[in-house]
Amino acid sequence: MWRYAYPHGDEDTKAKWSWALVRRVLGYAKPYRLLLVLLLLLILVQTALGLITPLILRDLIDYTLPNGDAGRLNLLAAGLILIPIISTGLSIIIRRYNSSIGEGVIYDLRRTLFAHLQHMSLRFFTNSRTGELMSRLNNDVVNAQTAISDTIIGIVTNSITVIATLAVMLSLEWRLTLLGLLVLPLIYYPARAIGVRLRRIAREQMDINAEMNAMMNETLDISGSLLVKLFGREQVEIDRFSDRSARVRDIGIQRAVMGSQFWGLLGLISVVGTAVVYWVGGNFVLQGTFTIGTIAAFAAYLGQLYGPLQYLVNAPVEFSTAVVSFERVFEVTDLPHEVSDKVGAVALKNVQGELIFDDVSFRYDSSSTGLLSQVRRYGRIDNVKAVLSGASGEDAGEASDVRTQAREMALEHISFAIHPGQLVALVGPSGAGKTTLTYLIPRLYDPSEGQILLDGLDLRDITKVSLNEYVGMVTQETHLFHDTIRTNLLYARLNATQAEVEAACKAANIHDFISGLPKGYDTIVGERGYRLSGGEKQRIAIARVILKNPRVLVLDEATSHLDSQSEALIQDALEKIMVGRTSIVIAHRLSTILSADVILVIDRGQIVERGTHDVLIEQGGLYAQLYETQFRAQREIA
């Protein structure tokens, strides 16, 4: 294992990378090994061509011109023209192959990362910043590919150049060669010190950029923008963003200046080495030991030698800087899938819809296990920061755990059974656990204790794909993609025909509205569907689940924020969709409650009452209180 320590040497500023990590990084180059071999062959040819030019100059000065050989002069001049032309052509081909490798690595990394994220649990997304995820999918993936397409190839290329150049120089004059290498210690130590500082800055720059991206993501989407405008906080956000972007600017300047210092220092050292060779070699020429052509060739070779040597001195730091991005990508791909198919899971077929909760308990996991650590970035004392306040990860974690502060268990000893085609209405105070219970059915979470059975099979023994095929869910907050109405509907069933789409929309009482739009089903709904009203979005969501045609239906029929016309249309659509399906409904409408086969009254994560409306009213318990405060007005209006 290598370790690069920063000047102060504290443990937080030490960067480590092992052979295991390097092997894993190199694994992404395996699909391109044939291209890499061809690339290296071309580099060898280009390097050989570069070694010929100084020899031509030597011959020109020492033999051709003194002897007045015009024919030889013409050949050498032609060589000086052809070599750059061929070398330029090779450079274009090398660049093409190198770009193919680099872009291929970006594609592989990005696809692997995105695919892994698609299978992460809901808990992961509720505890992760979208901007941080975007940063890893974009910035880190692009930066990571430089480790293969730039750094590794650069190390190989420059190593070949150094070895070949030294071999030619030693064959010409070993004393001048050793003299030219005496400046290497002067190159190594400054390069190492400044290079390591550059790596620390690179890590911090990634961190600051991720924070800025997270803020932009939360304040520039439609919900964040609406909140900013409603509270008149435009200037506050401008100032906040100015502060974040100023930090990005400042660290960018710091990195540029330090990089300039680094290469400037190396350039000065190279000049010293060249001057020493000219001085000593010039004296040898005056003494008749060397020819002028030899000293001219040496000067050319020194120019070809010092550049690659400088690169190789800094290569470990450059490589480890690129590995930072690989670490950030690997951290995500190494996270376990909390809700996944077990070995031997079966696919559902011919589902009847019998659903049983057997002594189910559930707690929200408030630990950081299975979540992003936002990468422990060396050289930083703080770790995770909130998007707006800048609070530390510890403080942010305490603030984000509000929903479980009232009780340890979100659900506790829940048991009930639904026969195929029955309707169960969930009723209870806000925060009682109704939504949490419904989230367990499509396996957005798994129970902490107990089991949920569908047609006698534990949900954990069923493949997620087949479970999703038979379970449909309409949430209270409808999400639509920034695309056409048709595309949003087809998300439920990609191969549905236009006739099936329209039939679903008619059942959801939304077809006439869509048909009346200028572009009909090709109308763009806007970011998260914000070009539509709440009732219109909900009816599209209902049409979408109708198109899916699930056997088990889970829905939150919240209609309290809608006008009476939209509410009536949605209620009619819900009544149609629930016919013949096993349905669990978080009921907000008295009509749904009255038609339910059983009402489950939930309070503080437990079923405290169950039965029909009349039975529960007679008991005079919590349901009777809720009826008086929430539902009686609906009956009086009706």
- What is the 3-class SS of 110-172, one letter each residue? HHHHHHHHHCCCHHHHHCCCHHHHHHHHHHHHHHHHHHHHHHHHHHHHHHHHHHHHHHHHHHH
Q: CB neighbours of 274 closer than 8 A, spacing ≥ 6?
A: 180, 299, 302, 303, 306
Residues 359 and 298 in one domain: no
Q: How far apart are the first and last CA of the chain?
A: 75
Residues 207 and 66 in one domain: yes
Q: How far apart are CA 339 and CA 559, in angstroms?
A: 31
Do residues 621 and 601 lie in contact, with contact meaning Cβ atoms separated by under 8 Å? yes
Q: How far apart are CA 65 and CA 72, in angstroms?
A: 9
What domain count does the chain have? Answer: 2
Parent domain of 573: 355-363+417-637
Q: How far apart are CA 441 and CA 382, in angstroms?
A: 39
CATH of the domain at 585: 3.40.50.300
> Which pLDDT value is given to residue 501?
93
CATH of the domain at 101: 1.20.1560.10
Residues 359 and 269 in one domain: no
Q: How far apart are CA 491 and CA 506, in angstroms?
A: 18
Residues 329 and 359 in one domain: no
Q: CB neighbours of 329 closer than 8 A, spacing ≥ 6?
A: 109, 113, 136, 140, 141, 144
Do residues 445 and 123 lie in contact, with contact meaning Cβ atoms separated by under 8 Å? yes
Residues 310 and 453 in one domain: no
Q: How far apart are CA 348 and CA 340, in angstroms?
A: 16
Residues 66 and 142 in one domain: yes
pLDDT in tens, 263-300: 777 677 777 777 887 888 888 888 877 788 888 888 88
Q: Which CA distances in Å does 167 have to 42, 51, 171, 180?
A: 20, 10, 6, 13
> Which pLDDT value is given to residue 25?
76
Segments of the chain with pLDDT less than 70? 1-18, 131, 147-148, 186-188, 191-192, 195, 222, 226, 266, 314, 317-318, 320-321, 366-407, 528, 558-563, 566, 631-638
Q: How far apart are CA 408 and CA 564, in angstroms?
A: 39
* Token pair in block for residue 27: 């694994």
In a domain, 469, yes or no: yes
Residues 283 and 359 in one domain: no
In a domain, 381, yes or no: no
Do residues 548 and 500 lie in contact, with contact meaning Cβ atoms separated by under 8 Å? no
Indicate the DSSP class of residue 603. Answer: E
pLDDT in tens, 211-257: 787 778 778 776 777 678 777 778 888 888 888 888 888 888 888 88
Nearest to 376 by CA among 133, 206, 151, 198: 206
In a domain, 9, yes or no: no
In a domain, 290, yes or no: yes
Q: 361: alpha, beta or left, given left = phi > 0 and alpha = psi -120 to 50? A: beta
* Token pair in block for residue 114: 């995105």
Do residues 455 and 354 lie in contact, with contact meaning Cβ atoms separated by under 8 Å? yes
Q: CB neighbours of 125 closer than 8 A, spacing ≥ 6?
A: none
Strand 2-5 relative to strand 14-17: parallel, antiparallel, unpaired?
antiparallel
Q: Which CA distances in Å does 487 have to 474, 498, 502, 529, 543?
A: 17, 11, 13, 12, 12
> Which pLDDT value is given to residue 565?
72
Residues 542 and 587 in one domain: yes
> Which pLDDT value is given to residue 560?
52
Residues 77 and 116 in one domain: yes
Residues 193 and 318 in one domain: yes
DSSP secondary structure string, 354-406? -EEEEEEEE----S-TTS------TT-S---B-SSS--BHHHHHHHHTGGGTS
Do residues 306 and 267 lie in contact, with contact meaning Cβ atoms separated by under 8 Å? no
In a domain, 394, yes or no: no
In a domain, 424, yes or no: yes
Q: How far apart are CA 363 and CA 446, in angstroms?
A: 10
> Which pLDDT value is given to residue 81?
92
Question: How big is the CA angle at 359 (ends 357 and 360), to the nearest 5 degrees?
Answer: 70
DSSP secondary structure string, 316-366? HHHHHHHHHHHHHHHHHHTS--SS-PPTT-B---S----EEEEEEEE----
In a domain, 384, yes or no: no
Residues 285 and 421 in one domain: no
In a domain, 510, yes or no: yes
Q: CB neighbours of 430 closer than 8 A, spacing ≥ 6?
A: none
* Token pair in block for residue 139: 């910035």
According to DSSP H, which parts of 431-493 are helical?
434-440, 464-470, 485-490
Residues 555 and 589 in one domain: yes
Q: CB neighbours of 8 closer than 8 A, spacing ≥ 6?
A: none
